[in-house]
Amino acid sequence: MEYGFYLPNSGASIEPNAIASIAKLGDRLGFFCMVMPDHVLQPNKVSSSSPYSVTGDILEAGQSGDGEWPEQITTLAYLAGLTERIRLVTSVMITPYRHPILTAKMLQPWTCFPKRARVDTGCRRWLDGRGVRTPER
């Protein structure tokens, strides 16, 4: 069995030295992969029920709209240069965030370490937004 871990995506742990230390430790301990979520921001108020909290409240799950959210691809690229073996995995990449040509260009260098990189695209749709309820999308 292989184990991986999610990288932090908010709070003090996303400071460059902190997230670098987390990635290096995971690499040194022999974890199979590290996974980076993809969020530009989170809303401060959410009416949809979150699958990441027992009560359905995403704010209870520690995912507030406050603070900075590191960009997924560039963060993993930074950590790739600091680690040797651990696989780099994008959590679900929310493709509408980026222009497709720019995304392809940003991911192209990942071909230099194909055994270490994995990109998952798509979107888990639980968050109602943009005036369209999730079931109607």
> Torsion angle, CA of 42/123/114/84, rounded to 10 degrees?
30
**In angstroms, what is the C-alpha Rg of the chain?**
16
Q: 């073996």: which residue's tokens?
A: 85
Strand, coil or helix: 6: strand
User: What are the phi and psi torsion angles at 4 (to 5°)?
Assistant: -130, 180
Nearest to 74 by CA among 105, 41, 43: 105
101, with CB counted inside 10 A (0-12, 13-18, 19+), is exposed
Predicted confidence band at 131 (pLDDT cuts at 50, 70, 90)? low
**pTM value?**
0.74
pLDDT in tens, 34-46: 999 887 766 666 6
Predicted confidence band at 94 (pLDDT cuts at 50, 70, 90)? confident
pLDDT in tens, 67-90: 678 899 999 989 999 999 999 888
